[in-house]
Amino acid sequence: MYDIADITVNNSELSFIRLVKSFDFLRNRGYIGEQFRIYGRGGPSVTFAHQAKNRRVNISWCENELVTIIERRRGLIPKGPWQSFSVNEYYKSLGIVDPGPVVGESNRINIHSDFIRKHLLPVIDGEKWIDDLM
């Protein structure tokens, strides 16, 4: 049996925990955790998917950069191609400056999560696509 005080967490593990915790609102909207990665070339990442809405949200933390890709599958073909957009590119199209490393990792992850929650829920919920919001 482990004593919680004896457990140490490295930076990759901490980043992974922050990603899962900050984007847990997706689980509350019917998404399930589809893929989880703590280690690897691309850094910690998590993918949430919603089968009925044909949506997938990929979030990764790589080299102090948070990248979020939202994907949808069009039409009724279950194995059809995915159409995607980067939330980071959406920031740029709106003229929003990424807060950068100045605010620290946990704040960047929370800011990104809050932005999606406040501005992109119609996309997350399958009601609209990014083209409809621009």
Rounded Cα distance between 14 and 130, Å, is 31
* Extents of the domains making up the chain: 9-133
Rounded Cα distance between 124 and 4, Å, is 36
3-class state of residue 129 by DSSP: coil
What pLDDT, on a 0 to 100 scale, did the predictor assign at position 100?
59
What pLDDT, on a 0 to 100 scale, did the predictor assign at position 76?
62
**pLDDT tens digits for 20-40?**
999 999 999 999 999 999 987
Rounded Cα distance between 69 and 85, Å, is 6
Q: Which residue has the higher pLDDT, 106 or 83?
A: 83
Q: Which residue has the higher pLDDT, 100 or 64?
A: 64
67 — pLDDT class (breaks 50, 70, 90): confident
104 — pLDDT class (breaks 50, 70, 90): low
Rounded Cα distance between 70 and 52, Å, is 15
Mean pLDDT of 78-105: 73
What pLDDT, on a 0 to 100 scale, did the predictor assign at position 41?
76
Burial 61-94 (b: 16+ CB within 10 A, else e): beeeebbbbbbbbeeeeeeeeeeebebeebbeee
